[in-house]
Structure 1
Amino acid sequence: MSDHPGLTEPAASTQQTTERIVSIDALRGFDMFWIVGGSSIAIELLKNADPESFASRLALQFKHVEWEGFRFYDLIFPLFLFLVGCVLPYSLQKYSGQPTAAYRRLFRRGFLLILLGFVYNDVLQFDFANMRYMHVLQRIGIGYTIAGLI
């Protein structure tokens, strides 16, 4: 067991021991739940509520709107970027004293996130006039690279 509260160590059978911050993993899991469709589940569970009830007002918090104020759904992407920033020092810690390897890792991960974002947005359909160039994965890749350089 680790001397630090909130940290756990992997099983002793691994060659390199790395400590995980359980609270960050839990928050990342919570955020990923909402990213992969938790809002759809919440909306389905709350959709038959009385229009004047708390449950129907709660269901509105899980819908993305162009701009009608601030809703819970608007926290999902910023929370993920916050988590990327939180784990960045731990991710780059193993490269201390090796700046070239750290830069290589930063640029490779940033490039892969941007590339995956383009693939997800149908870059292979070659419809460049109607393609969205700045989607979530591209923004995460750019933010990750810039934060890592800073």
Structure 2
Amino acid sequence: MKIRYLSLDVFRGLDIALMIIVNSPGKYSTTFSPLLHAQWHGFTITDLVFPTFLFIVGTSMSFSMPKYETLSNKIFLTKVVKRTLIIFLLGFLMYWFPFFENGELKSLSETRIFGVLQRIALCYFFASLILRFWKPKGAILFSVIALLSYQIVLLVFGDLSLSGNAVLKLDNWLIGASHMYHGDGIAFDPEGLLSTLPAIVNIIGGYLAGSFLQKSGQNYKTLALLTMFGSFLIFMALGWDLLFPINKKLWTSSFVLLTIGIDLIIISVLVYFLDILKKDKWTYFFEVLGKNPLFIYLLSELLIISLYQFKLKGISAYDWIAENVFISWLGNYTGSFAFALSVLLTCWLVGYIMDRNKIYVKI
């Protein structure tokens, strides 16, 4: 009999909600500081959003992977490759959107290649292979080697600065500056190819946590062990930070340990309140988001891009609505936050309609 974990649906929904709020402020210059990424080294709650999504991908895999054990390697690989290509392509098309510019097909020469969905796709692909062929013990060994070797590679082939790191150097050589993210003032992709290596460990961490929950059951001992191990990882991360700083944009090894540790504690708290105590009166809003996470994330991104494309009185619809509908009467910081909430609620409404009609988009 399959046990349903409400906590996992809500955890996924909470993460999607925070992701949308972070990605759609009315003005970045007047955004509440916890909703901004750390400038470089350091950590904010915003830096937890993406690794948590990977962690949740891993927990979801702990439910689906056992079903694949009876499949041949060929069928398994076909399923994994298909899903990887679809997610990667969706991410790439999102950056190419709206496809046309000045009446002509938009050039691919400056389209970003790596990104959020692309990283999810690559991490899912490699984590699936590792867990399939090397099993959990092999995955743990891979995680240790990956985190240690990543630190060595960064220190040997560059430094830990924005302009001199090995992640940037590899992407420059592999795809060129025109296909990279430019939001930090220079061509540098925080979802670059090299930093995908430690990010795979976030998925493995989620998988191991999900498997442990299923095998050990929803009880106090299980949650105590998860909480203790999460606290241990946080302690390790803070110690490692002294030698290898916590840095989301470089996805440093200390960052991986910190985020997995926090996620273990969060999932323990959610399982305790939602699955054990049944304190679930407030959860439906987040369940809606958690049932169609990929679709709702894409919807939010395409909505933001579309608002930037349309012009109202000489400025983008995004800026006009933020300024005239929210900031003008709520003030810069509160108005900026209210605009982000409006984007979240718009996407939630679509998700609500889909849920009412039992429409769930899965890849």
Scaled by the length of structure 1, the TM-score of the pair is 0.68
1:128 equivalent in structure 2: 108
**Alpha-carbon offset, residue 39 of structure 1:** 6.8
Q: 2:4 aligned to 15, 20, 30, which one?
A: 20
Equivalent positions of 1:51-62 (< 5 A) are 59-62=32-35
Give per-residue Cα distances to partners, 1:47-102, cap 9 Å, x unaligned.
7xxxxxxxx9xx20102354262111111000001111121121122222113332
- Segments of structure 2 that go 5 or more residues without pairing to the other structure are 100-104, 131-363
Runs of at least 4 residues off by over 6 Å: none
Equivalent positions of 1:79-118 (< 5 A) are 79-99=52-72, 100-118=74-92
Q: Distance in 2 between matches of 1:103 and 1:32?
A: 28
Q: How many residues were matched structurally? A: 121
Q: 1:39 to 1:110 in 2, by over 3 A?
A: closer
Q: Distance in 2 between matches of 1:85 and 1:30?
A: 16
**Alpha-carbon offset, residue 105 of structure 1:** 1.6
Give the conservation status (yes or no) of the 8 Å contact 2:37–2:43: no
Find the residue that maps to 1:128 and give its secondary structure: coil
Equivalent positions of 1:24-63 (< 5 A) are 24-37=8-21, 59-63=32-36
Q: Distance in 2 between matches of 1:90 and 1:37?
A: 29
Q: Percent identity?
A: 31
Bigger mean CA offset, 109-118 vs 89-98: 89-98
1:144 equivalent in structure 2: 124
Higher relative contact order (CA 8 A, sep 6+): 2
Give the conservation status (yes or no) of the 8 Å contact 1:92–1:102: no
Find the residue that maps to 1:116 and give its secondary structure: helix
Give the conservation status (yes or no) of the 8 Å contact 2:22–2:46: no
The one-letter code matched in structure 2 to 1:107 is: V
Give the conservation status (yes or no) of the 8 Å contact 1:62–1:72: yes
Give the conservation status (yes or no) of the 8 Å contact 1:39–1:63: no
**Alpha-carbon offset, residue 145 of structure 1:** 0.7
- Segments of structure 1 that go 5 or more residues without pairing to the other structure are 3-17, 48-55
The one-letter code matched in structure 2 to 1:87 is: S
Give the conservation status (yes or no) of the 8 Å contact 1:61–1:71: yes
Q: Distance in 2 between matches of 1:20 and 1:107?
A: 27
Give the conservation status (yes or no) of the 8 Å contact 1:39–1:62: no
Alpha carbon RMSD of aligned pairs, Å?
2.7
Give the conservation status (yes or no) of the 8 Å contact 1:81–1:140: yes
Q: Distance in 1 between matches of 2:46 and 2:108?
A: 29
Bigger Rg over Cα? 2
Which is helix-richer, 1 or 2?
A: 2
**Alpha-carbon offset, residue 34 of structure 1:** 1.2
Give the conservation status (yes or no) of the 8 Å contact 1:113–1:138: yes
Give the conservation status (yes or no) of the 8 Å contact 2:36–2:46: yes
